[in-house]
Structure 1
């Protein structure tokens, strides 16, 4: 009873929308045909093609459905959640899976190590969208750097180069991404490009001894 009264009072205290803003919203409003599917009628798809991302209809419900799925699977989750909250359980899973990959890497089991790093990256990308993006960038850049090293040791130099490029995009000021890139380019016998990658990495960390001795 008290909660209902508080909700009504809160609604009464909400400011009225700006008429000009409201008019602009209504002018651009275009109705679309959608349907709600399982789980719990929380998954939105276009009616004509039964797709959550439909180029023909010009609709994309992927992000909306992802958020809805999070709330459906976590009924006790506060909405909106407190700012900068980090899911500790997910962090533990990510770190555990990454460390399993590191152990496999040290014992030169590079195929299984690559699988573990891939799993860890997938876990990191499952963080809810309200958690700090810097956390995801830090986790994924480290995992991709380790996976690049595994690909290199396995002789898969193109894959190692691709992961190194991802690391650079996620964490541009980290010289290790350029080091991974240079090693992959050495494996591909592109020494001029490898040298260029090292020089670029040293611009961010000029005292990095690993890059200097590559």
Structure 2
């Protein structure tokens, strides 16, 4: 049983460092977003601080192409002009990008790898939570591979085949291994085991908008 959704949303994004830049050129900027920072601003003025807001201060005209959950850290690419935005945006739309995440999950997984294939839909009574819905849900698949074990927890490399909201977080919970520190989908010891969501976007690959050459960016998880 999940914890009730909080009635108030406390937003206290980290301010140091203000921006972590992995790569920049005339077409794109790749950032390493910290956990706790929104990818884009919310409608409420109290939610104005975001990676996009900060990026625009340094790179006027920078456009958000994709997002990470507030509590997920890791790689995000932004476009510096419309041509680059359209080029990379289509790659995301047609699943031509490559993405991989590192996570620490509750429990010691017995197998070395696997595939989770469970359809997801919005849990309207507990929005923004998502839930498995075999009747109305959209197809969702995630691959996982063990890359490390420790007492009571397992470190995984996760590859989302589809890109549903909270996909990796819900899928890990459904197979009995919620991501540590996940305030939406973990409870009890799994929630208390970490002071942040232990999910990090560690790899991001796509074709560069200038010339179309494949590029791959990596980031080391801070946990």
- TM-score, length of structure 2 as denominator length: 0.22
Task: Answer with 1 or 2: which has the greater Rg.
Answer: 1
1 or 2 for the larger relative contact order (CA 8 Å, sep ≥6)? 2
Instruction: Name whichever structure is richer in helix by fraction.
Output: 1
